[in-house]
């Protein structure tokens, strides 16, 4: 059967290569201007060209985010930027602002356009409007229920895209003025400081300067927090509704997060495609998603208003496993070249993970630290930014990750 596109974030070139290796059908990324993740690594013009070439060489589509809401004073810079990237063969631009859409139409009339979630497309009439403007794909607002999605998909002839996993902004589809008001950095231009994640205190009107803590637990209160979205168990009804693309949030997340989420959803989609009637979400897939950095999971608004189950009452992210290394080269003698990301030591229990739920356990041993001249010396402890030669399971391949699970008592 025809499966929907699995669309992954690529905040840097390293993340892009991970996305391609771990099963993305397409990636979305930003240049140095006019995207909504100004604090992601993002791509220079030369890096954009390299990213497009890499993706196309591996049969993966690539979309450029131009989905900020630029004020009038930035329009000249926007036009200059659009002319600069016009020659790069992106498969589509992702836009939200009608003015940006109009400028793209003038500068790159042949460019396919996808509508960002920032446009707040929340009903079928809005979707039909954007279809009439020549938009080739519509990312539906995260506030839509499954029934809303189904009705909208049936009403339009262009593909509809939905987010299936990642952080949820408590503001209306991410359109928020809180960061602008408190810090002068606009979320709608990609510079959100995430004040919804800050701690807040109460001040009584007649007692200025007396700040009273509002505490739900020892770490404080986080009244604007939302749990992360996870629609793994809702894949069958979404696919049956005819959704054309499934999108993962996370251009600011690390490669462990990206690889872990992608290998789960890639496996789930392929499993469904082979036997839709017999499909069941494997508990191991759900377990894998809990090992990654997240704020608890919910189904968002898909099944109706989330109410209290959608609010996150914890301060920080939960994560059970830590990325410690990336396999750069596997050698026939069983030794591999590993780039170290976090400290680990001989004797530590590690996991090797790869695409499509490949996984093996090992104990760190026989580590040789490489020096700048190419020499190797035995070491008992690996530190970040070092490169090691160490034995790994025979299934190891370049691009696989090494992570440390929690200790077992």
In this structure, the answer to whether residues 39 and 129 fall within a common structural domain is: yes
Positive or negative CA dihedral for 9, 177, 172, 91?
negative
Q: Domain check: are 266 and 352 in the same one?
A: no
Q: 330 and 336 in contact (C-beta within 8 Å)?
A: yes
At 202 the pLDDT is 74
Rounded CA-CA distance 285/261 in Å is 9
Helix (H) or strand (E) holding 310: none
pLDDT digits 0-9 by tens, 187-236: 666 677 777 777 777 777 787 887 766 665 555 555 667 788 999 999 99
| Domain endpoint, select from 213, 234, 267 | 213
Distance (Å, whole) CA 169 – CA 90: 28
Tell me, yes or no, whether 76 and 162 share the same domain: yes
Q: Do 42 and 92 lie in a common domain?
A: yes
- So what's the pLDDT on residue 169? 76
Q: Output the DSSP codes for 338-357.
A: EEE-S-EETT-EEEEE-STT
Shared-domain flag, residues 207 and 147: no
Task: Of 109-113, 314-318, 382-386, 399-403, give the lowest mean pLDDT range.
Answer: 314-318
Mean pLDDT of the chain: 89
- Residue where a domain stops, chosen among 310, 332, 358: 310
Kind of pairing between the strands at 137-139 and 160-166? parallel
- In three-state form (DSSP H/G/I as H, E/B as E, the rest C), the secondary structure along 75-128 is HHHHHHHHHHHCCCCCCEEEECCHHHHHHHHHHCCCCCEEECHHHCCCCHHHHH
Q: Are residues 242 and 133 in the same domain?
A: yes
- 219 belongs to a structural domain: no
* 129 is a domain residue: yes
* DSSP one-letter code for 367: -
Number of domains making up the chain: 3
User: What pLDDT is stored for residue 324 in this prediction?
Assistant: 98
Q: How far apart are CA 67 and CA 20, in angstroms?
A: 23
Q: Which range of residues forms the domain containing residue 183?
A: 178-213
Share of the chain above pLDDT 90, in %: 68
The residue among 213, 238, 266 that closes a domain is 213
For residue 301, the surrounding DSSP H or E stretch is none
Confidence of residue 40 (pLDDT cuts 50, 70, 90): low
User: 165-199 as b/e, with b when 16 or more CB fall inside 10 Å?
Assistant: bbbbbbbebbebebbbeeeeebbbbbbbbbbbeee
What pLDDT shows up at residue 407?
85
Residue 74 inside a domain? The answer is yes
Same domain, 182 and 155: no
DSSP string spanning 166-221? E---SSBTTB--HHHHHHS--GGGT----GGGS--EEE-TTSTT-EEE--SBTTB-
* 220 domain residue, yes or no: no
Average pLDDT over residues 4-9: 98
- Reported as type and span, the H/E element at residue 37 is none
Distance of alpha carbon 301 from alpha carbon 393, whole angstroms:
42
For residue 228, what are its two tokens?
A: 């992360």
Residue with tokens 């680990």: 344
193 shares its domain with 166: no
Res 315 pLDDT > 70: no
Residue with tokens 């989609």: 269
**Cβ-based burial of 139 (10 A; exposed 0-12, middle 13-18, buried ≥19):** buried
Whether residue 317 is predicted with pLDDT greater than 60 in this model: the reply is: yes
Q: What's the CA angle centered on 314, arms 312 and 317, to 5 degrees?
A: 95
- What CATH code is carried by the domain that includes residue 359? 2.40.30.10
Q: Which of 33-37, 251-255, 262-266 has the highest mean pLDDT?
A: 262-266
For range 380-391, the mean pLDDT: 96
41-80 CB burial, b ≥16 within 10 A, e <16: bbbeeebbeebbebbeeeebbbbbbbbbbbeeeeeeebee
Find how far residue 185's CA is from the centre of its chain: 22
Give the CA distances from residue 133 to residues 105, 111, 136, 170, 363, in Å, rounded to whole numbers and listed in that order. Answer: 10, 13, 9, 29, 57
Same domain assignment for residues 136 and 89: yes
- Rounded to an integer, the average pLDDT of 278-286 is 95
CA pseudo-torsion sign 394, 382, 10, 167? positive
The string of pLDDT tens digits covering residues 127-177 is 999 999 999 999 999 889 999 999 999 999 999 999 999 988 776 656 676
* Residue 338 covered by a domain: yes
Instruction: Report helix, strand or coil for 327.
Output: strand
Judge whether 107 and 76 are in contact, CB under 8 Å. no
Whether residues 139 and 247 fall in one domain: yes
Are residues 397 and 383 part of one domain?
A: yes
Q: Which of 62-71, 119-128, 184-193, 294-303 has the lowest mean pLDDT?
A: 184-193
Quote the pLDDT of residue 401.
98
The rounded distance, in Å, linking the Cα atoms of 156 and 308 is 33
Q: Which residues contact 147 (CB under 8 A, 6 or more apart)?
A: none
Burial of 235 (C-beta count, 10 Å sphere; 0-12/13-18/19+): buried
Question: Is residue 130, in this structure, part of any structural domain at all?
Answer: yes
**Strand 26-30 versus strand 368-370 pairing type:** unpaired
pLDDT digits (tens, 9 = 90+) for 41-90: 679 999 999 999 999 999 999 999 999 889 899 999 999 999 999 999 99
Grade residue 397 by pLDDT with cuts at 50, 70 and 90.
very high
Q: Is residue 375 part of a domain?
A: yes
188 with 288, same domain: the answer is: no
Q: What is the pLDDT of residue 37?
A: 61
Percent of the chain with pLDDT over 70: 89
**In the predicted structure, residue 178 carries a pLDDT above the cut 90:** no
Residue 246 within any structural domain of the chain: yes
Give the CATH number for residue 78: 3.20.20.70
DSSP 334: S
């Amino acid at each position: 059967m025809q499966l929907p596109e699995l669309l992954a974030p690529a905040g840097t070139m390293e993340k892009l290569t991970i996305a391609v290796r771990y099963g993305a059908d397409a990636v979305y990324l930003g240049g140095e201007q006019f995207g909504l993740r100004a604090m992601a690594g993002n791509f220079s013009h030369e890096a954009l060209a390299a990213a497009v070439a890499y993706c196309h060489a591996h049969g993966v589509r690539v979309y450029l985010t131009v989905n900020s809401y630029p004020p009038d004073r930035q329009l000249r810079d926007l036009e200059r930027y659009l002319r600069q990237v016009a020659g790069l063969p992106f498969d589509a631009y992702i836009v939200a602002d009608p003015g940006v859409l109009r400028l793209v139409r003038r500068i790159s009339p042949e460019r396919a356009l996808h509508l960002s979630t920032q446009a707040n497309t929340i009903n079928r009439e809005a979707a039909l409007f954007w279809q009439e403007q020549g938009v080739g794909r519509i990312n539906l607002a995260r506030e839509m229920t499954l029934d809303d999605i189904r009705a909208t998909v049936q009403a339009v002839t262009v593909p509809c895209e939905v987010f299936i996993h990642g952080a949820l902004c408590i503001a209306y589809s991410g359109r928020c003025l809180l960061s602008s008001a408190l810090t002068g950095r606009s979320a709608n231009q990609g510079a959100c400081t995430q004040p919804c994640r800050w701690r807040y205190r109460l001040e009584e009107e007649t007692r200025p300067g007396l700040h009273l803590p509002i505490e739900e637990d020892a770490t404080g209160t986080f009244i604007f927090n939302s749990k992360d979205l996870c629609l793994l168990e809702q894949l069958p009804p979404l696919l049956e509704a005819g959704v054309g693309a499934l999108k993962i949030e996370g251009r600011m997340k690390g490669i462990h997060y990206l690889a872990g989420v992608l290998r789960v959803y890639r496996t789930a989609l392929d499993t469904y495609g082979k036997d839709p009637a017999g499909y069941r979400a494997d508990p191991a897939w759900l377990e894998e998603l809990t090992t990654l950095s997240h704020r608890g999971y919910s189904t968002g608004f898909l099944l109706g208003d989330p109410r209290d189950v959608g609010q996150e009452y914890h301060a920080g992210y939960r994560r059970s496993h830590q990325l410690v290394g990336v396999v750069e080269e596997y050698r026939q003698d069983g030794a591999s070249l590993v780039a170290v990301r976090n400290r680990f030591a001989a004797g530590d229990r590690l996991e090797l993970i790869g695409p499509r739920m490949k996984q093996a356990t090992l104990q760190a041993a026989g580590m040789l630290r490489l020096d700048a001249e190419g020499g190797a010396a035995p070491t008992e402890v690996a530190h970040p930014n070092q490169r090691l030669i160490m034995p790994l399971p025979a299934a190891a391949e370049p691009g696989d990750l090494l992570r440390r699970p929690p200790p077992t008592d």
